Amino acid sequence: MGKVVLHKIGYSLLVLWGVVSIVFLLFTALPDPARMMLDQREDSAQLKAVQQKYGFDLPMWEQYLYYLNDVSPLSLHALGESHFTHLDDTRSYLPMLSIGEVKLVLKWPYLRQSFKNQGKPVSNIIRETLPNTVVLAVASIALAMLLGVFLGVVSALYKNTLWDRLITVIGTLGMSVPSFFSAILLAWLFGYVWSAYTGLSMTGSLYTVDDMGEGSYLNLKNLILPAITLGIRPLGVIIQLTRSSLLEEIGQDYVRTARAKGLPESRVLRKHALPNAMNPVITAASGWFASMLAGAVFVEYIFGWNGLGKQIVEALNELDLPVVMGSVLVIGFTFVLINILVDVLYAWLDPRVRV
Of the candidates 334, 325, 339, 295, the one whose C-alpha atom is nearest the C-alpha of residue 20 is 325
Q: Which CATH architecture has domain 122-354?
A: Orthogonal Bundle (1.10)
Say which range, 7-16, 30-39, 197-206, has the weakest mean pLDDT. Answer: 30-39
pLDDT attached to residue 84 = 42
User: What's the mean pLDDT when you consider all of the chain?
Assistant: 81
Does the pLDDT at position 151 exceed 90?
yes
pLDDT attached to residue 263 = 82
Contact, 320 vs 332, CB < 8 A?
no
Long-range pairs of 68-73 with CB within 8 A, sequence gap ≥ 24: 68/20, 70/109, 70/110, 70/111, 70/112, 71/20, 71/109, 71/110, 71/111, 71/329, 72/109, 73/106, 73/107, 73/108, 73/109
Q: Which residues contact 98 (CB under 8 A, 6 or more apart)?
A: 104
Q: What burial class does residue 255 get, using C-beta atoms within 10 Å of its C-beta: 0-12 exposed, 13-18 middle, 19+ buried? A: middle
For 75-128, write each residue's pLDDT tens digit: 877 655 444 444 444 445 666 666 666 777 788 888 888 877 777 888 889 998
Helix (H) or strand (E) holding 25: helix 2-28
Q: Which residues contact 321 (CB under 8 A, 6 or more apart)?
A: 27, 30, 33, 36, 115, 315
Say which range, 29-38, 122-131, 226-235, 243-252, has the weakest mean pLDDT. Answer: 29-38
Helix (H) or strand (E) holding 35: helix 33-38
d(CA 196, CA 59): 60
Residue ranges per structural domain of the chain: 31-107, 122-354
Percent of the chain with pLDDT strictly greater than 90:
14
With 0.75 as the threshold, say if the pTM is over it. yes
Q: Which amino acid is at 17?
A: W
What is the 3-state secondary structure of 246-287? HHHHHCCHHHHHHHHCCCCHHHHHHHHHHHHHCHHHHHHHHH
Distance of CA 278 to the CA centre of its chain: 23
d(CA 337, CA 17): 14
* DSSP bridge partners of 159: none
Question: Ranked by mean pLDDT, which of 55-69, 146-160, 266-280, 281-295 comes out on top?
Answer: 146-160
Say which range, 206-220, 266-280, 292-306, 340-354, has the weakest mean pLDDT. Answer: 340-354
